[in-house]
Amino acid sequence: MTTHERLTLWEKLRLWTGCGLCIGLFWPLGRLILARADPMAALTLAGRADLFTSWLSVSALMAVAGGVGAVTLGGRRTYSGLLTAAVGLAALNLRFGTVQQFLAAVGVDPVARRSVFAGLIGETILWSAAMSVALVTESLVVRWLGLGRTPPLPEVSQAKSARSAGQTPGWAVGLLATGIAAVVAVVVLSQTLARTDVAWVARKQVYFALGLSFFLASLAASQVLPHVAGFWHLLAPTVVSLPTSSWAWREPVTRIQYYEAIPELPRNWLVRALPVEYLSMGVIGSILGVWIGGRLAATRRAGAAA
C-alpha cells in the first residue's frame, strides 16, 4: 500500500464504486440517525441531548465506510478507506442546512453565539475522532485481510524507523508540514470561500473552496517536504477548523457596519464552513494532494535515477 503507485482504470472504477457505496450508506442512515426537528437544521453534534449516542452512531458508519474503501481498492492505496468515509460524510451534509441556517437559529445575541461557537470547538475534535475511527478501521482491515503490503497507520511507525536510520525527518518536521499545509489552505480559502464578507453562504462554493484549498495545501507541503508521512498533511483541516471556531467564539458578531443585526451573516469568511465541512471536504482534498504529491515525487526520483 502506497501513496504514489499509479492506479489502473479498473482500480479507479473500484474506488469510485466504494465512494458510491458509502454515499448510499450515509445518505439514508446518517439522516435517520442525526435528523432534527427542523428539516433545515445544520449538521452539528453540539447541543444535542444524545451527543454521545449520535457520535457513536456516526463513528460506526465511518468505520464501515473505512472498511469498504479498503476492500474495494484492495489495499492498493493508502487512505482509500478514509477517503470513501469522508465522501460519505460530505454527501450526508448535503441533506442538512448550511452555516447560514445554523446562525439564523441562534440569532445575534453575543452570549448565545459564544455558547454555540464554544460547542463547535469541541465538535471539531469529535469529527476528527470520527475520521480517526475510519482510518483505524482501514488499517485493521488491510492488516487482517492481507490486502496490501502495509496498512495506513504504520506509515508513521515506518517513518520513525527510517528516521532512526537517518532517512527521513522527525515529528518536528512533520508538524512543520502540517503548518505549511494549514497556512496555504487559509491563504487559498481567503480568496475562494466567499465573494465578499457580506455575501450569502453558497454551499457549492464552500465545498469547492475547501476541497481545492486543502488539495493545494497538501500538494504544496508534500513538495516542500517530500519525505514527511502523508498523515501529517491530513491534520491540516483540524488545525484550521479549531482556531476558526475559537476566533468566532471570541468575536461572535460581525463588526461590519449596518450588518450587525443580520443573524445569518458569519463573523468572518472562515466561519462560512461548519466543522463537518472542514473535516470532510478538507480530508478529501488533503488525501488527493498526498496521492498526487507522492506521484510527482516518485516521478522525480525515477527521473533522477535514470
251 φ/ψ angles, rounded to the nearest 5 degrees: -130, 85
Higher-pLDDT residue of 128, 229: 128
Strands, DSSP E only, in 80-199? Answer: none
Q: Spell out the residues 6+ positions from residue 236 whose beta carbon is closer than 8 angstroms to its own.
A: 178, 181, 182, 185, 214, 217, 218, 221, 282, 286
CB 271 within 8 A of CB 244: yes
CB atoms within 10 A of CB 204: 8
| Average predicted confidence (pLDDT) for the chain | 82
pLDDT class of 297 with cuts at 50, 70, 90: confident
Q: The whole model's pTM is what?
A: 0.86
User: All 3 cell numbers of residue 297?
Assistant: 515525487
User: All 3 cell numbers of residue 131?
Assistant: 475520521
What are the extents of the domains in the chain? 9-305
DSSP state of 272: G
For 129-186, write each residue's pLDDT tens digit. Answer: 999 999 999 999 988 887 765 556 555 544 555 445 455 567 889 899 999 999 999 9
